[in-house]
Structure 1
């Protein structure tokens, strides 16, 4: 009698459990996650202060560091002392400001195609696309990753400053391979529009499969907003973006800073960076995110989600 009773009991449990499993699966499928990500840490002291405030007092869940920049060490020290937070490397192949510039981490004679006539990294992405040799780029990006590790930064992911590392198919493939080698997720978006991105979108389809096979996550959507300097309009744009998030994992890229003389001397985006800091440390904005049922996650959590998915499929 024990064996039939056990089978009947197991069947009853399965029948009752199956609908709840289905319901849970549907619930998860419709879940909205967001990574609120601050770019450009290490760029300047004022950017470091704004980014740290966003992570400590606000809802900024992740940041990435520009290793070649003069204020890298300050932020690296913060990261080492606060390993519970989430940090990536903002892989950098260009130096865009007029009077505040930086060169490569690798020795200049080892990466000659990366530098301009003034011995700095190229000014813009178009110049990177035109001049940079992929082997030189790989040497430099490895040097940036290794420098961050040497300074004790607990790394969670890799991404790209101004998209320079994803501007050509060969650079994109090298970037993905670095992520796989270091077992660090890379900023990568599913289903790029081929009309807009051409060969990059075509290469992206191939590389998306490679990333997922290696347990590295791929974003469902990516949002960034430069535009409006007016604070209230800027805040309303972010709130509207949050209200309209699609199911899946979206990253919102922001740039935090303090609107002071240092940052004003570097960039005309100073007030916008200050606005991003203020928006994502605003208790009303944080409450709105919670009320919308959106879960704010880190790249570490996103990576764990991907690994769990791979393990479940095996």
Structure 2
């Protein structure tokens, strides 16, 4: 049996992102989105979510390339002089692994993000991390600690299967194989830890190898190669670029999400894009 979840990350990052996500749900195939509780357009995102009752909204834990929920003075090791998180995920992750005090501050910030989400009144559909930072042991441990207090929502498993990805993409075989091996190794502990905490994870994912390039063509190809199980297909749609990496084609991703051709393909396959909670209760 095949189940499909279609997710957009970075909800709350900016107004153009929020606009793209709302329209991708209302006019396209989008079924879920991941909310940045420290995003510049957080309040606007919450307002939009409350008028979209069928959109699954999850927590997008962010510790890099953004601003914190906690006051900067409470987490001085996580922020720069302007009160912003690091824009160097690799270096930040390395330091986080070896610094006990950084891990304590990160746990406090993650708890604050859980609490801010709860304060919206929205039901937490799922959990994932900005730049897949939920794979980091410190973040995984915090999720295992806090998620059961918030309904034990499912967590994104970010390992894109090599063969379906290669067959669909028809390019970058070395990169696709490398990412599969790397992410499989990095998530081994994460899977064990989260499952022992009673949390569920999707079986497959598409979008890791084509981040910022989930165009109509890519989406159609992935739909033709869906494996059995619960598959998440994710993108970063936006009406226009703002506060996003210059390598992202977010406007093209938005076009793919609302494409009539894509919608027809989903219908022809007999699929109904689901929220995470719906996928795991089916």
Range of TM-score over shorter length = 0.7 to 0.9
CA, structure 1 residues 66+283, in 2 after alignment: closer, same or farther (shift >3 Å)?
same
Tell whether the 8 Å contact from 1:33 to 1:296 is kept in structure 2 after alignment: yes
Aligned pairs for 1:130-145 within 5 A = 130-132=94-96, 133-145=102-114
Larger Cα Rg: Structure 1 or Structure 2?
1
1:25-64 to 2 correspondences below 5 Å: 31-64=1-34
Judged with a 3 Å threshold, the aligned counterparts in structure 2 of structure 1 residues 221 and 72 are, in CA distance, closer, same or farther, namely same
Equivalent of residue 170 in structure 1, options 138, 144, 166: 138
Maintained 8 Å contact 2:14/2:242: no
Q: CA deviation at 1:35?
A: 0.6
Assess if the C-alpha contact under 8 Å between 1:76 and 1:148 holds in 2. Answer: no
1:72 correspondence with 2:42: yes
Structure-1 residue corresponding to 2:205: 222
Seen in structure 2, the aligned counterparts of structure 1 residues 141 and 264 have a Cα distance that, compared at 3 Å, is closer
1:81 deviates by 3.2
Shift, 1:264, TM fit: 5.0
Measured after TM superposition, the shift of residue 194 of structure 1 is: 8.9
With the length of structure 2 as denominator, give the TM-score of the two structures.
0.82
Match of 2:176 in 1: none
Contact preservation (8 Å) 2:25, 2:31: yes
Determine the C-alpha separation between the residues in 1 that align with 2:46 and 2:212: 30
Give me the whole-angstrom Cα distance separating, in 2, the residues matched to 1:202 and 1:226: 22
Show the counterpart of 2:76. Answer: 112
Instruction: Determine the structure 2 residue equivalent to 1:239.
Output: 220
Unaligned runs of 5+ in 2: 97-101, 162-178
CA contact (8 A) 1:191 1:201 kept: no
SS of the equivalent of 2:258 reads coil
Preserved contact between residue 257 and residue 274 of structure 1 (Cα < 8 Å): yes
Q: Is the 8 A contact 2:34 2:59 kept in 1?
A: yes
Assess, with a 3 A threshold, how the Cα gap between structure 1 residues 197 and 62 changes in structure 2: closer, same or farther. closer
**Does the CA-based 8 Å contact 1:189-1:218 persist in structure 2?**
no
- Residues 180-199 of structure 1 mapped to structure 2, 5 A cutoff: 180-182=148-150, 183-188=152-157, 195-197=181-183
* Corresponding residue to 2:124 among 120, 131, 155: 155
Aligned-partner Cα distance in 1 for 2:160–2:145: 19
Match of 1:23 in 2: none
Query: Corresponding residue for 1:21?
Result: none
> Shift in Å at residue 256 of structure 1?
1.0
Partner in structure 1 of residue 279 of structure 2:
302
Say if 1:128 and 1:164, in contact at 8 Å, map to a contact too.
Answer: no
Q: Distance in 1 between matches of 2:184 and 2:154?
A: 23
Unpaired segments ≥5 residues, structure 1: 1-30, 96-101, 306-314
Deviation for aligned residue 1:117: 3.9
Mapping 1:270-285, distance limit 5 Å: 272-285=249-262
